[in-house]
Structure 1
Amino acid sequence: MKFVRNSRFAVSVIFAINGVVFGTWASRIPEISDLHNLSPGALGLLIFLLGFSAVIAFSVFGRAADRYGASTVTKRTTCIFIPLTLIFIALANSIWALAAAIIFFGVIHGGDDVAMNAWAAEVERKDERPLMSSFHAMWSLGAGIGAGTGVITSFYKVTMPMHFTITSIVIFLAMLPIITIPFKSEKKQNSNKEPFISFPKGALLPVALITFFASLGEGIVADWSAIFLRSVAELNNSSAALGFTVFSVCMFTMRLMGDKIALKFGAHMTARYSGLIALLGSIIVLTFNSLVPLVIGFGFIGIGIAVIIPLAFSRAGKDKEISQGSAIASIATLGYGGMLLGPLFIGLIAEFTSIKTSFLLLPILAFLIFLLSKHLSTNPRV
């Protein structure tokens, strides 16, 4: 059991690091947008490139996890390549350099996401009890820390390049002891007949759809909440990051309890009521224009979305029709495709209407999560 506990600690740290990187990026989006003089449409297109590159990477890293072992792929990617993602964005001195850095960010961050979830599913099975929600809680904690450092560094006038560089160095140093923790992952030789990009089918298709809706909502809040608050509540850049910070903290808190809640009420009912809470939060965000209720609304959305993706990955890891890496990659391909389409939709709608109008997508997504919630159970009829 000590072996499992060490592996659980390693996976938890890696989930947190992955979240820190994303939260750090999200907290500085307004400054990056101002630095490169980006319109809402241009910003949406760049984030589209991030999502597109991530979708391509999902299947590649899923195959690599099956072939070389999820733990090996995860540790090497997180230690070597994840720190470079922030450095490349920090050093981008033109729109083309920024586009290249964002594509690299999408590939590495997305690929690391698939590999670490595959490793998490293995640790969960070896420990013989639900753990996936707690791992994703660590991601949310990391995202909150990353967003929080963005608020602090922006307040104290620390430049984005300096902020990103320091964060990258800390991540590299934190990973050095983690890569020494042993874990023998399952390995499977990939078939040459498998498609290059893994798409969900059969029972996994509705699971992927609900993941798509949840990740789309999460991506909207992560990538656009600061812009939304700056526009609607007329906040400065440092205060505008509070929306995603509170959202992440609420997600973290809910995910800490998610395994016990799902064990008691079942995946179906947990997801069903989560969708209703996210719907309430979306209505609050669209109704009020002042900081306090808006932040509360983003917090409710965080609580509502929190357990959906962990439940989906846990369900995929238990599928008996497809290998673990490919199953999780297929869920991520369509599910995290929300990162591909959502920011682009938001940017285009905001370009022709307003940022507030574009956020009408949030209650629609929450309602769709409510409708599809039963498919996160291994017995959808329940």
Structure 2
Amino acid sequence: MTAPSLAAASRALRTQFFVTGALFATWGVHVPTVKTHYGLGEQSLAIAMLASGVGALIALAQAGRVVGRYGPRAVSAVMGLLCSAAVASLIALPQYAALLVVMGVFGISASLFDVAINAEASEIERQAAKPLMSGFHGMFSLGGMCGAGLGSVAPALGLSAQGHLLLATGAALAALLLACRAMLPPPEPHEAGGKQPLSIPRGPLLLLGVLASMGLIAEGAMYDWSVLFMKQERGSQASTAALAYASFSGAMAAGRFGGDWVRGRVPAPRLMRASGVLAAAGMALALAVPVPGVALGGFALVGLGLSNVVPVLFSAASQVPGVSPAHGIAAVSGMGYLGMMAGPPLIGLVAEHSSLTTGLLVVVVFAVFMALSAKRALRAA
């Protein structure tokens, strides 16, 4: 692979991460819209979110095999198309049962897309021989910030909710398909052939997967519940509520764009421990102080704290002895993504029987666990 081709693939992958973040943000800012459109309570909304988690579970068991056989470029193109179509259809259908199907498709396609682009990121980082993972994930956060920002200003621009969904997903899909053309070529047949291991973490990968799951549950809570928290628990207007996701994603993007520099200077266990403490403190602040501005600041601290958790864990997964980097990344990202998809519905079930504030306490608990487990999980990093 020549340097210019590798550079082009790197730029393409940054676009893919940006698009993924924008799609998740578009879903996130429309959680209240979906709730209103279908007349849902928190429990029914949580079940819809759980449908995406079930879809993710179905897909993730075979993610390593699918990506290994067809390559990240083909998988990201097909799954990106399906993911965009699912987000565009969120409120286009009249029945709750149809929403469950849409969310299932969203879970399947988004999880496979996520594994594909992270496998691509691992390979590019390997070929470049320098830290790049945090920067790639920074584009995800930047995409989330931009997607949430567009959602915030869409009503002022006269866009209906469905109009915004169509505009956002159409632009995302166009960028995604163009980027796919510059990604690394698919593996040679002899590299992709044979039986591929299931993307299920075992041994040292298991704790890494658990921490990735907890970190992504916390991220998923911000995607799916922060906007509703601002509206429901803090009484914010829709435009202000949308800034909850934007403040989280903006801080996370800043932390990730500087993350490769930090990772080169701070040992991984120490960085993970500090990240967990900061995320726990930010979430506790947002939940404890009933002031919208303070909540936005707390969400920003959560974003900064979580910014390098996933890049650190993925890099550690690619270095586990006796496990290929691609399989390590697929296994840990698969388990982490399952947490991202399945965690928010559990928060919704708690919210239905108590309050959303109580449900979001899980972010504090998991962030503390990450801090306490950092040394054991990353002892060899």
Pairwise same-fold verdict (TM > 0.5): yes
What percentage of aligned pairs have identical amino acids?
28
Tell me if structure 1 keeps the 8 A contact 2:230–2:244: yes
1:64 alignment partner in structure 2: 66
Q: Secondary structure at the match of 2:90?
A: helix
RMSD: 1.8
Are residues 369 and 155 of structure 1, via their aligned partners in 2, closer, same or farther at CA, if it must alter by over 3 Å?
Answer: farther
**What amino acid does structure 1 have at the position aligned with 2:32?**
P
Residue by residue, what CA displacement relative to the aligned partner does 1:266-312 show, whole Å, maximum 9, x if unpaired? 22111111111111102211211111111000000011111111111
**Letter aligned with residue 338 of structure 1:** G
Q: Say if 2:377 is the partner of 1:348.
A: no
Q: Deviations over 1:74-111 (max 9, x none)?
A: 24433x33331222224222111111111111111111
Structure 1 Cα separation of the partners of residues 355 and 281 of structure 2: 21
CA distance in 2, matches of 1:119, 1:27: 28
Name the amino acid aligned to 1:99.
Answer: L
Matches within 5 A, 1:100-179: 100-179=101-180
1:33 Cα deviation after fit: 0.6
The TM-score normalised by the length of structure 1 is: 0.93
Equivalence map 1:218-233=2 (5 Å): 218-233=219-234
Tell me if structure 2 keeps the 8 A contact 1:90–1:165. Answer: no
Give the stretch that moved more between structures: 256-265 or 50-59.
50-59
User: Given that residues 61 and 111 in structure 1 are in contact (C-alpha distance below 8 angstroms), is that contact kept between their aligned partners in structure 2?
Assistant: yes
Aligned to 1:301: 302
**Is the 1:84–1:168 Cα contact (8 Å) retained in structure 2?**
yes
8 Å Cα contact 1:55/1:332 also seen in 2 = no
Q: Which residue of 2 aligns with 1:50?
A: 52
Taking a change above 3 Å as real, the CA distance of residues 376 and 310 of structure 1, as seen in their structure-2 partners, is farther
Q: Which residue of 2 aligns with 1:189?
A: 193
Query: Who is 2:322 aligned against?
Result: 321
Write the deviation string for residues 99-137 of structure 1: whole angstroms up to 9, x where unpaired.
111111111111100000001100000000010110000
Taking the aligned partners of 2:356 and 2:183, their CA distance within structure 1 comes to 48
Alpha-carbon distance in 2 for matches of 1:22, 1:119: 20
**8 Å contact from structure 2 (residues 122, 326) kept in 1:** no
Q: Which is worse superposed, 257-266 or 228-237?
A: 228-237
What do residues 134-170 of structure 1 show as CA deviations (whole Å, max 9, x unaligned)? 0000000011111111111134442221111112221
Aligned residue number for residue 82 of structure 1: 83
CA distance in 1: counterparts of 2:161 and 2:231, whole angstroms:
18
Structure 1: gaps (5+ residues): none
TM-score normalised to the size of structure 2? Answer: 0.93
Separation in 2 of the partners of 1:68 and 1:341?
Answer: 27
Distance 2:175 2:267 in 1: 36
Deviation, 1:20, is 0.7
Partner of 2:269: 268
Aligned to 1:20: 22
Stretches of structure 2 lacking an aligned partner (at least 5 in a row): none
- The answer to whether the 8 Å contact 2:107/2:341 transfers is no
Separation (CA, whole Å) in 1 of partners of 2:117 and 2:332? 14
Aligned-pair CA distance for 1:184: 3.0
CA distance in 2, matches of 1:305, 1:48: 23
Segment drifting more, 284-293 vs 152-161: 152-161
* Contact kept? 2:122, 2:329, Cα under 8 Å: no
Farther-moved stretch of structure 1 (227-236 vs 118-127): 227-236
Cα distance in 2 for residues equivalent to 1:328 and 1:58: 12
8 Å contact 1:349–1:355 — kept in the other structure?
A: yes
- In structure 1, distance between residues paired with 2:35 and 2:48: 10
